[in-house]
């Protein structure tokens, strides 16, 4: 007999959507609520690492992601003037036959692909909706929603991101994410090169990753004192200042930002925060997924990847265990170390960048983490 028949997923990010798809494939009824009325995440690009592509293949969407996105199997390292110094292969994940080393896509495009798959799988999706209260007993969780409606579920999955509201029901004492000392800048620009490319300045590193046949996204991290608000009207000039030392292609982007000639650049600034929440990741019949328990900085481009992997592991354990408690413990037990690897290695990379530390250590930490993540999920 199935452990659970009816699940509520709170949050329609990558983690929530993927777990909804996998649970529907087991015949479990799924309601998914998403607070945004139009289900549209910010417009920036996202990198999909080799292991993430492997996980998306299991979800059933990798072909479409590769068809509409960009992908690459090598990274070019250039100097600040855009002169090629070195090309390094980007190895595909193990047991990912035929998939490239990595891919990129616009977040709203990925959300659209996954959102359609959620609906086709038969989940009930309610947008512009959150919850007010949850009360659980031995047999279920009663949820009251913000529109006054109510439902009872065998399991609630909190996939509501780094500032999760569901987390209060599982980890009431958790203080919340920590600012990591860096801010992230993103812009969508015409595709400059075939490969992923990093431009090494003396103080700043800028990168571009393809997100389609015609476009790529620019990513730059800078050092910041706090989570200060920067008005969006200032973003073009602030980003241009960060790119001051660059010539070549990045210099042209900077000049375009200043001249206002970069159209539909979808500029985005975010202060970076992260955390790794200790297990267990559930209390009774409420369980946490994705950024709610392991929010990372983007240094390894693997945060979405571990949210998707967590969704695969959670659904698999729910499908094969004989007790709900056993399934939820097994989920966190299997997934914790991979998630912690991403959060802690990404954090270390950020520290090295902020302290102007060793480039050799930076490369070693990145290589070691990527190599471990290539190993298949077991």
Ligand X SMILES: Cc1cc2nc3c(=O)[nH]c(=O)nc-3n(C[C@H](O)[C@H](O)[C@H](O)COP(=O)(O)OP(=O)(O)OC[C@H]3O[C@@H](n4cnc5c(N)ncnc54)[C@H](O)[C@@H]3O)c2cc1C
Distances (CA, A) of 159 to 13, 33, 153: 7, 10, 16
Smallest distance, ligand X to C-beta of residue 358, A: 24
Residues engaged in binding ligand X (CB under 6 A):
10-16, 33-36, 46-47, 52, 130, 159-161, 165, 184, 270, 272, 290-291, 298, 301-305, 307
Q: What letter does residue 204 receive in the DSSP assignment?
A: -
CB of 42 or CB of 255, closer to ligand X: 42
* Shortest distance in whole angstroms from residue 47 CB to ligand X: 4
Shortest separation between residue 322's beta carbon and ligand X, angstroms: 28
Contact yes or no for 310/14 (Cβ under 8 A):
no
Q: Which of 194, 133, 119 is nearest to 165 (CA)?
A: 133
Nearest CA among 286, 233, 254, 209 for reference residue 44: 209
Residues whose CB falls within 8 Å of the CB of residue 85, separated by 6 or more in sequence, listed in order? 77, 78, 79, 200
Say if strands 178-190 and 196-200 run parallel, antiparallel, or are unpaired.
unpaired
- State the nearest-atom distance from the C-beta of 5 to ligand X, in Å: 22
CB 183 within 8 A of CB 238: no
Residue 166 CB, shortest distance to ligand X, in Å, is 7
Whole-angstrom Cα distance, residue 29 to residue 372?
Answer: 35
Those residues whose C-beta lies under 8 Å from the C-beta of residue 332, and which sit 6 or more positions away, are 279, 280, 281, 282
Report, in Å, the least distance between residue 246 CB and ligand X.
20
Angle 342-349-75 from CA coordinates, rounded to 5°: 85
Which CB atom, from 258 or from 334, has the smaller least distance to ligand X? 334
Please enumerate in sequence order all residues whose Cβ is within 8 A of that of 76, keeping only pairs 6 or more positions apart, or say none. Answer: 84, 86, 87, 193, 195, 196, 197, 198
* Distance of closest approach, residue 138 Cβ to ligand X, in angstroms: 25
In angstroms, what is the minimal distance from the CB of 276 to ligand X? Answer: 12
Contact 176, 152 (CB under 8 A): no
In this complex, which beta carbon is closest to ligand X, that of residue 252 or of residue 277?
277
Residue nearest to ligand X (CB): 13
Give the residue carrying structure tokens 């998630």. Answer: 339
């Amino acid at each position: 007999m199935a452990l659970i028949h009816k699940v509520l997923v709170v949050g329609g990010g990558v983690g929530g959507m993927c777990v909804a798809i996998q649970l529907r494939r087991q015949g479990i009824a799924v309601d998914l609520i998403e607070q945004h009325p139009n289900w549209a995440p910010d417009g920036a690009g996202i990198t999909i690492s080799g292991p993430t592509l492997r996980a998306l293949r299991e979800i059933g969407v990798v072909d479409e992601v590769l068809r509409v996105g960009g992908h690459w199997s090598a990274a070019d390292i250039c100097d600040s003037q855009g002169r090629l110094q070195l090309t390094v292969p980007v190895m595909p994940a193990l047991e990912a036959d035929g998939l490239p080393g990595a891919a990129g896509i616009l977040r709203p495009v990925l959300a659209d692909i996954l959102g359609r798959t959620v609906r086709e799988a038969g989940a009930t999706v309610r947008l512009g909706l959150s919850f007010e209260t949850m009360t659980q007993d031995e047999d279920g969780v009663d949820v009251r929603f913000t529109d006054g409606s109510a439902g009872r579920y065998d399991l609630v999955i909190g996939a509501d991101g780094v500032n999760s509201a569901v987390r209060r029901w599982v980890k009431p004492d958790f203080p919340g994410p920590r600012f990591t000392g860096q801010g992230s800048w993103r812009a969508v620009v015409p595709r400059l090169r075939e490969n992923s490319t990093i431009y090494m300045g003396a103080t700043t590193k800028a990168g571009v990753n393809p997100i389609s046949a015609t476009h790529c996204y620019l990513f730059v991290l800078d050092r910041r004192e706090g989570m200060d608000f920067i008005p969006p009207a200032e973003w073009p000039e602030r980003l241009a200042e960060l790119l001051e030392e660059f010539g070549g292609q990045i210099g042209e982007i900077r000049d375009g930002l200043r001249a206002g000639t970069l159209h539909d650049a979808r500029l985005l600034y975010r202060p970076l925060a992260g955390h790794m929440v200790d297990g267990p990741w559930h209390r009774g019949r409420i369980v946490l997924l994705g950024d709610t328990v392991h929010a990372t900085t983007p240094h390894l481009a693997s945060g979405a990847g571990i949210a998707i992997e967590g969704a695969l592991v959670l659904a698999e354990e729910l499908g094969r265990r004989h007790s709900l408690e056993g399934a939820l413990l097994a989920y966190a037990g299997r997934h914790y170390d991979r998630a912690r690897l991403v959060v802690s290695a990404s954090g270390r990379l950020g520290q090295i960048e902020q302290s102007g530390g060793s480039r050799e250590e930076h490369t070693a930490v990145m290589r070691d983490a990527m190599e471990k993540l290539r190993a298949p999920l077991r």
